[in-house]
Structure 1
Amino acid sequence: MAQRESNRVMVGAMMLVVGGLLGAGVALLYAPQSGEKTRRDLNRYGKKLRRKGRDAVEAVEEFSEHVTDMAESVGERAADILERGKDMAYGAKKGLLKAIEEGESRLEKQRNRLMKMIG
């Protein structure tokens, strides 16, 4: 769930950056300068955009790997905790049953004593 939300945030951020760069490119097209200079500028911006895009993709992949590793670690810990909980519950159940049996045994002994006293 958290991974989906973080992916949405990253996609939104990337769309914002790409939209800004595209807007800058359109603004350059309408700027009052020569076509050759505009094409050169667009070429530079395109190269920058590709470089930033690669960097952004690498950052998203790295972030995704970290989130995946963290999720796996949390899952493993949860499984360990669950297993410990099962063991503890089994031990508590066993102890409780033993206490009940001892209580029944003591009650039976007391009942027998009372029966002897009463006659």
Structure 2
Amino acid sequence: MSEREESSSAMVGALMLLVGGLIGAGVALLYAPQSGDKTRKDVARMAKKARRKTQNAMDAVEDFTEQVTDMAEAVGERASEILETGKDMAYSAKKGLLKAIQDGEHRLERERSRLSKMIG
């Protein structure tokens, strides 16, 4: 699941929870033993409060999503830099190893030549 899908799934879950709470509160108010006028005012007040909370929650989710996206991009860039550095180091080590092998072969050949002159 991608980061966008996870963040949108989290946002949907939060909104569903909030909407469920609002519906439950609305039903409770409608069955409360008070006048219709007072109930309508309470419902209107709760709706305004819920709208503000929903907007705040959505803003927080958007901010969080943006921060996670920025962090993921930064981690990706850093990983690419580390990979390039590793490739460069491996190439340098390979060159050094090949040079050491070639130097060893030359020394071995010189010693072989020197020994064959001594022996025979």
TM-score (norm: length of structure 2) = 0.89
| 1:56 has 2:60 as partner | no
Match of 1:67 in 2: 68
Match of 2:47 in 1: 46
What do the CA deviations read for 1:10-64 (whole angstroms, capped 9, x no partner)? 5433432332122111111111111111111111111011111110111011001
Q: Which runs of 5+ in 2 are unaligned?
A: none
Greater Cα offset, 29-38 or 50-59:
29-38
| 1:15 has 2:12 as partner | no
1: CA distance between counterparts of 2:52 and 2:20? 16
**Quick one: which amino acid aligns to residue 118 of structure 2?**
M
Verify the 8 A CA contact 2:26 2:43 in the aligned structure 1: yes
TM-score (norm: length of structure 1) = 0.90
Q: Which runs of 5+ in 1 are unaligned?
A: none
SS in 2 for 1:12: helix
1: CA distance between counterparts of 2:41 and 2:86? 67
Runs of 4+ in 1 over 3 A off after TM superposition: 1-11
Verify the 8 A CA contact 2:7 2:61 in the aligned structure 1: no
Deviation for aligned residue 1:97: 0.5
**Quick one: which amino acid aligns to residue 68 of structure 1?**
T
1: CA distance between counterparts of 2:112 and 2:8? 70
2: CA distance between counterparts of 1:115 and 1:7? 79
Tell me the matched-pair count: 119
Match of 1:118 in 2: 119
Tell me the C-alpha RMSD between the 2 structures.
1.7
